[in-house]
Structure 1
Amino acid sequence: MKFDVIVLGAGIVGVCVADHLQQQGYAVALVDRKAPGSETSFGNAGLIQREGVYPYAFPRAFSDLLRYAFNRSLDVRYHPNAMVELAPFLWRYWRNSHPVRHAEIARAYATLIEHCVTEHRALALDAGASELIRPSGWMKVFRTHGRLDRELSLMQQWQREYGIEFEALEPARLRQIEPDLNDSLVGALRFSAAESVSDPGALVTAYARHFARIGGRLFLGDADSLRDGWSVDTQEGRIEAKRIVVALGPWSGPFVTRLGYRLPLGVKRGYHMHYEASASAQLHHPVLDIENGYLLAPMTRGIRLTTGAELAQFDAPKTPAQLEAVEPIARELFPLGARVDSEPWMGRRPCTPDMLPIIGPALRREGVWFAFGHAHHGLTLGPVTGRLLAQMMSGQETIVDPRPFSVERF
């Protein structure tokens, strides 16, 4: 079976790339070992972060580094036996997080973020999935005035630089919007231009169904069977194409070594668990408890509690210590009921040390294109990445300047 393009990886990024390429008139095959949206795209917090112009940086304040060194922080945990392996990535990540460099990175990153909501809306409309996207925004809540004041100052800076929209909520206004949150909170910041998803896995599935409706083909197969030329084994037989797109998320780094690229990619692991809401309690927005490093999000399955980052070896067993640590705190913030899931879910975020995704051609191998490394913003940037890469592959004018996202920067 022959196609114009084979897309390897059916997470949010791979599905969106395949969808946009199919819309451009290419014959596209989308290949994954599992159903679309079954891995990292399934378990995120469901945020489409229009305000996220500054990607998540490595902490540089000495007080923060000292806190993390003892490995008791709620928002970041590490496995000591993984630190030697991760040290080169973390060193480069720390250097790129210098405020001057971080600001340079944000200028490129913001060009993608600018289109995240409009691109999701357009694709969701085509896919008949608009009901899965909520326009209500999301919020950070605060327990201390000091942290609120620092974050407010930072958001005001982002507003001046990039025009991001937010609303500062006094306690009374916060209780009016979210009456079931703990009334000891001193305030919140609500990001009104952002949107959220009630079921990220279902959204990816809907986008994949749209891809199939417009003529795309979905295959179960293993990217590791790739042969030069390019061809891949699937359950329906071997498929071939002159071009491939690597969109394997956290598996992309090891995979592209066979294509001649040794990339300084890291992986941040994260966990989630769903809960019933006690009695008649309701949560209307995703809520980040910024001082304790977890987020509560209303989902179709229940209230999803997501953790911060865990640094570990790629295939290390699950260690949901962060989830166990923040659950009692989350129960104080909002009246959570019984756990819904039988065990915690774990996913992996693919990260570059300069916090920018890798989007574009692999110049060392003819016919190879990359789309991975979106870290915390894979869901946010999936559709705009799909449009950008499809435009590049078609030789069209691009929605943003793609040069900052080239793999050749490494």
Structure 2
Amino acid sequence: MKFDTVVLGGGIVGVSIAAHLQRRGQAVALVDRRPVGYETSFGNAGLIQCEGVYPYAFPRSLGKLLHYARNRATDVRYHPSAMLALAPFLYRYWWNSEPSRHAAIARSYATLIAHCVSEHRELAGAAGATALLRRGGWMKIFHSAAKQDEETRNAERWNREFGVAYESLDAAALRRAEPSLNTSLTGALRYTASESVSDPNALVTAYARYFEQLGGRVLIGDAATLEPQWKVQTESGPVEARSAVVAMGPWSGDMSAKLGYRLPLAAKRGYHMHYAAQDGARLNHPLLDVEKGFLIAPMARGIRLTTGVEFARVDAPKTPVQLGAVEPIARELFPLGPRLDDEPWMGRRPCTPDMLPIIGPARRHEGLWFAFGHAHHGLTLGPVTGRLIAEMMTGEETFVDPAPFRVERF
């Protein structure tokens, strides 16, 4: 089977790339070891974060570092056995999180974030999936006035720098917006221009179905069998292509290393569980409990509780201690009923130490392209990345300057 391009990875990024290339007249094969949308794209919080101009930084203050070093925080945990291997990555992540460097990173990152809602809307419209996208934003909720004031100052700065839209809610306004929440909360910030998704897996599946309607092929195969120039083994037989795109999320580091590229990629792992809502309770927005470090969101399957960050080796066994720690807190916040899943789901967010994704050509191999490292914003930036890579590969003028995301920076 011969194609113009083989895209490796069936998550939101890979599917979006495949659809955009197929739109431009290329013959594209999309290859993954599982059906599309069943790895990291399956279990995220469902946010399309146009307020997310500042990627999540590493803590810099001594107090916060000591707090997390105890490994008992609800928002961040780590496997001690992985720390030696992760230390070089974490040091570079810490260094890039210095405020002036972080601000410079945000100026580049914001060029992608600015298009996230419009690109999802356009692709969802073509795929017949707009019903899965919800307007109305999402909220950060607060237990203390001090934390609310701190986060409001951040929102004000993001508004000045990048035009981030938000509104501040006092306790009474929050109760009107979310009457089922615990009444002890002091208030909330609502990011009004951001959107959310009622079923991330269904959205990725819809985008993949649109890709197939355009003539693309979705194949089950082992991306690790990729060989220059360019062949990969699938259940339907070998696939050959003139170009290949590595969009394998947290496994992209292993694939690129096999081809001779030593890229600093690590995984922030996270967990989720679905619950029924008790006594007719209703959740109208995704809600991030900033002080406790978890998020609850209304999903097609129920109320999804997602955890913060776990630093560990990519394929280490599940250790959902964070989920166990935050579930009682979430039950006090909102009337959660019984668990709906047999066991916690775990996903892996692929991260670079400078918090920017890697998007562009791999210069040492003709026809090889990289598109990974989107960290917490893979769902947010999938269609943006798909369009940008497709424009670069087909020689079009790009709608975003790709220079900050080039692989050569490493």
**Pairwise TM-score range, normalised by the shorter structure:** over 0.9
Q: Which residue of 1 aligns with 2:253?
A: 253
Partners in 2 of 1:277 and 1:400 — Cα distance? 42
Superposed counterparts of 1:259-408, under 5 Å: 259-408=259-408
Residue-pair matches, total: 410
Q: Which secondary structure state, in structure 2, belongs to the residue aligned with residue 224 of structure 1?
A: strand
Deviating more after overlay: 229-238 vs 2-11:
229-238
Partners in 2 of 1:236 and 1:216 — Cα distance? 15
2:40 partner letter = T
Q: CA deviation at 1:219?
A: 0.5
Q: Which secondary structure state, in structure 2, belongs to the residue aligned with residue 225 of structure 1?
A: strand
Partners in 2 of 1:80 and 1:33 — Cα distance? 30
Q: Which residue of 2 aligns with 1:53?
A: 53
Superposed counterparts of 1:147-186, under 5 Å: 147-186=147-186
What are structure 2's unaligned runs of at least 5 residues? none
Matching of residue 132 in structure 1 with residue 132 in structure 2: yes
2:257 partner letter = T
Q: Which residue of 1 aligns with 2:40?
A: 40
Partners in 1 of 2:249 and 2:316 — Cα distance? 17
Q: CA deviation at 1:313?
A: 1.5
Q: CA deviation at 1:131?
A: 0.3
1:270 partner letter = G
Deviations 1:180-207 (A, max 9, x none): 0110000100000000000000000000
- Taking only the aligned residue pairs, the percentage that are identical comes to 68
Q: CA deviation at 1:306?
A: 0.1
2:298 partner letter = P
Q: Which secondary structure state, in structure 2, belongs to the residue aligned with residue 223 of structure 1?
A: strand
Matching of residue 243 in structure 1 with residue 231 in structure 2: no
Q: Which residue of 1 aligns with 2:190?
A: 190
Q: CA deviation at 1:129?
A: 0.4
Deviations 1:76-131 (A, max 9, x none): 00011110000000000000000000000000000000000000000000000000
What are structure 1's unaligned runs of at least 5 residues? none
Partners in 2 of 1:335 and 1:223 — Cα distance? 43
1:160 partner letter = R
Q: Which secondary structure state, in structure 2, belongs to the residue aligned with residue 353 of structure 1?
A: coil
The alignment's TM-score, normalised by the length of structure 2, stands at 1.00
Q: Which residue of 2 aligns with 1:113?
A: 113
The alignment's TM-score, normalised by the length of structure 1, stands at 1.00
Q: Which residue of 1 aligns with 2:62?
A: 62
Partners in 1 of 2:119 and 2:347 — Cα distance? 25
Superposed counterparts of 1:222-237, under 5 Å: 222-237=222-237
Q: Which residue of 2 aligns with 1:81?
A: 81
Q: CA deviation at 1:62?
A: 1.3
Partners in 2 of 1:397 and 1:310 — Cα distance? 39
Deviations 1:18-51 (A, max 9, x none): 0000001100000001000010000000000010
1:178 partner letter = E
Q: Which secondary structure state, in structure 2, belongs to the residue aligned with residue 226 of structure 1?
A: strand
CA RMSD of aligned residues (A): 0.5
Partners in 2 of 1:314 and 1:210 — Cα distance? 31
1:257 partner letter = A
Q: Which secondary structure state, in structure 2, belongs to the residue aligned with residue 106 of structure 1?
A: helix
Partners in 2 of 1:180 and 1:64 — Cα distance? 32
Q: Which secondary structure state, in structure 1, belongs to the residue aligned with residue 224 of structure 2?
A: helix
Partners in 2 of 1:189 and 1:362 — Cα distance? 41
1:120 partner letter = H
Q: CA deviation at 1:259?
A: 1.2
